Each structure stands twice: as structure tokens, then as C-alpha cells.
A and B are shown apart, each in its own frame.
Chain A
């Protein structure tokens, strides 16, 4: 429920924002710039903030249920998403909003009456409470992120099964996106399986892998070398043409590592080296 007095106060804020636009906006940009510290260019920040400022003035006129408020919420939503992707913390993003209060307060006019002094104290106290509120929010977000990280880790372990193909031959079929962390888990799981099963051959099948980068390719190479140090041999199968192209373009040396077109070829290779002969069943 809005009273007449509130409406008048809103009008006064909007009027003040318009009149001192350059000062308030300049100060707002400066406060945000101090938090983001060069991760966004000054120019970008100024353009972005100017847009928010115009919307904020309209919100001051129309109140929190007007069309401008919806528009401002939308703009801040977009801003938060892009900042989150750039790796900003929730506090750093929220400061973009709270800082307008500070900027406006610094540009308030008026004498040094008791009322003014009390108001100033209230603003300072409000800033402290904002910080504390942000702190609880930040802590909550960090706790959620830990939960997500833990889940990602357990998914990682689930997504790298090492299967036994034959006595002494194991395989790990890799599917999906290979990042550095996952490749490392694969490497450790595979090597441990070699020990546990006494297998001297391992096939790393990357048929289901869409792309590899330098780091992932290096991890695969290290796996092969580590297996050799342990007394086992790794065969890499299913290298797709695009990946072969990437490997060559990146200048990664696969050296004397055995590669085969398909998992079946790799199994054939390992069987042959283990001295297993498979015969076709003849009809008589």
C-alpha cells in the first residue's frame, strides 16, 4: 500500500537522480570498477551501467511494480548470468546493485540538521547489514557449489568403467567430453585395474570421444608411458579423423604407441601378442 508521502519521496529521488545524473552515474561506475578490478573494460562497464541507471530512474518514478522494474530485473538477470560465466562471485555481482545507494547518498544535498545526521547513520548501518546479508548468501552459494563438485566427482568415477575383454586384457571405452580431470581419473583407474587383474594389455577406446585438446592428449600419452613402466602395454583405438587431425596439428608426438582403427582391431592385436589363436568353426 503506497501512501501519498511515499509517492512524493519517490518523485524526489527520481528528480535528484535526473538532476545529478553525471555525478551519481560516475560514482556508481567507479564503485563497481573498484570491485571488478579490470576484468571488464571501463568503457563496457560505463555503457552497461548507464543503461541500468536509466531504468533505475524510471523505477524510482513508477515504483517497484511498474514496467520499468520488470525491465530492470531482466537486464540485471542477463548481467548476472554473464558475470557468473566470467567467474565473478555473487557478492561482486550484487555490489553492482547496492552501489547505486552509496553513489546516490554521497550526492545528497541538504544541511546538517539532526534529521540528516540520523539519516546518515541509518545509511551506514544499512550498508553494514547489506554486507552481512551478502556474506550469508556467499556462504550458502559456496556450500551449494561444494555439493555440486562432490556430485561431479562421483559422476566422474561412475563414467569410467574399466572392463575385462579377455584373460589379461582390459579396456576402457571413453564416451563424451574428455577434460583434464576426467582423463586423470581414467588414467588412475585403468592403471589400478592392471594391477588388480594382472592384465598386461589395456585398450583405451576413444571412438565415443568428440574432441581432445593438448592437455587431454598429453594425459593419454602419460597413461601409456606409466603403464609401460609398470610392465603393461596400452593400445589406443578408435581415433576419429578429426581427432587424428587435431593431434597432428597440435604437434603431439605419439611416438611408438600402438594405435588401431577399432576396438576389435585392438583386441585382435592384444590377443595375437598374448599368443591366443582363434579359429573359425568349420562346417563339414
Chain B
């Protein structure tokens, strides 16, 4: 079974989903992330789904669960890079992802977590 790597940058954990995940891999990722948040004391988790073509109720539920778990552990979860077609489909499906923060891309997600200086965004160039 393929496992999605969890990267650590400073006190942020970064997951980039690049493949079509089967349900067990989704559950493994959920577990891995919870373990790593505790082990590293991370204050933020970013899940990059730029490459993800569909988000069904199972993956959507994983996002919400990770967000809840990380909140208990005093970390914040941000899902970044959701494609328009995926967002429209989620709305139609009836999934609101309550409690999950989102950002258009990785850079904006990092800024939401207060990480600056990686690259100056438009706001900082002003």
C-alpha cells in the first residue's frame, strides 16, 4: 500500500497528495498525521490537493477529522489548492468541510499560518 509522505518544515507539517488514494491509504495518512503532530509539536498542517482530481465524502471526512484532531493538539489545518471542479462537486454532494480552513495555494496557506518571508506575496510588495 502506498503511503503519502509527511514533510516537516520548521513547525509546519506538509502533505502533498499526488496519487489517487484508496480508502485504506486515506486512513493511514490520517493516522500518520496525528502521530506526527504529537511527535513534533507542530503548530500547523498543510494538505496540498492541487493534484487531486476528486474529493469524495471519504476524503472530505478525513480533512475534517484531521482538522479536529489538530485543533485538540493546538495546531491548525489548512487545505490548499482545491480545484474549481472539485469545489463545485463538493457543494453539490452536500459536504461543507466545516472547521477546515482553506487557501488558494500553498503560499497563501503558509501565510495564513503566519509563515512569511518564503516569498513575498502581493500584499507585502505593496
Interface residues of A (CB under 8 A from B): 167-168, 187-188, 191-192, 194-195, 198-200, 222, 225-232, 274-276
Contact = CB atoms under 8 A, between A and B. Distances in A.
A169 B91 CA distance: 23
A230 B87 contact: yes
Q: Considering the complex of A and B, which 6 residue pairs feature the smallest CB-CB distances, nearest first?
A: A191-B84, A231-B102, A226-B87, A231-B103, A229-B87, A167-B122
Interface of B: 80, 82-85, 87-88, 90-92, 96-97, 101-105, 108-109, 122-123, 126
B90 A195 contact: no
A200 B91 contact: no
Contacts of B109: 231
A15 B106 CA distance: 87
Contacts of A276: 126
A198 B88 contact: no
B123 A231 contact: no
Contacts, number: 58
A274 B88 CA distance: 25
Most buried by B among A198, A225, A226: A226
Contacts of B102: 228-231
A275 B126 CA distance: 10
A194 B90 contact: no
A161 B90 CA distance: 25
Contact residues of A: prevailing secondary structure: helix
B88 to A, nearest CB: 5
A228 B126 CA distance: 25
Contact of B104 (A188, A200, A274, A275): A200
23 contacts: A187-B88, A191-B84, A191-B87, A191-B88, A194-B104, A195-B84, A195-B104, A198-B105, A199-B104, A200-B104, A200-B108, A222-B88, A222-B91, A225-B91, A225-B96, A226-B90, A226-B91, A228-B102, A229-B91, A229-B97, A230-B102, A231-B80, A274-B123
B90 A229 contact: yes
A227 B126 contact: no
A274 B97 CA distance: 24
A275 B83 CA distance: 26
A275 B88 contact: no
A187 B105 CA distance: 20
Nearest to A189: B84
A198 B104 contact: yes
Contact of B88 (A226, A228, A232): A226
Contacts of A192: 84
Nearest to A277: B126
Contact of A231 (B90, B108, B126): B108
Contacts of B80: 231
Given A167-B122, A191-B84, A276-B126, A231 B104 contact: yes
A24 B19 CA distance: 71
A230 B122 CA distance: 19
A222 B103 contact: no
Nearest to B105: A198
A222 B90 CA distance: 10
A222 B92 contact: yes
Contacts of B122: 167-168, 198
Given A198-B104, A231-B82, 17 more contacts: A167-B122, A188-B84, A188-B85, A191-B84, A191-B87, A191-B88, A194-B84, A198-B105, A200-B104, A200-B108, A222-B88, A225-B96, A226-B84, A226-B87, A229-B90, A230-B87, A231-B108
A230 B104 contact: yes
A188 B103 contact: no
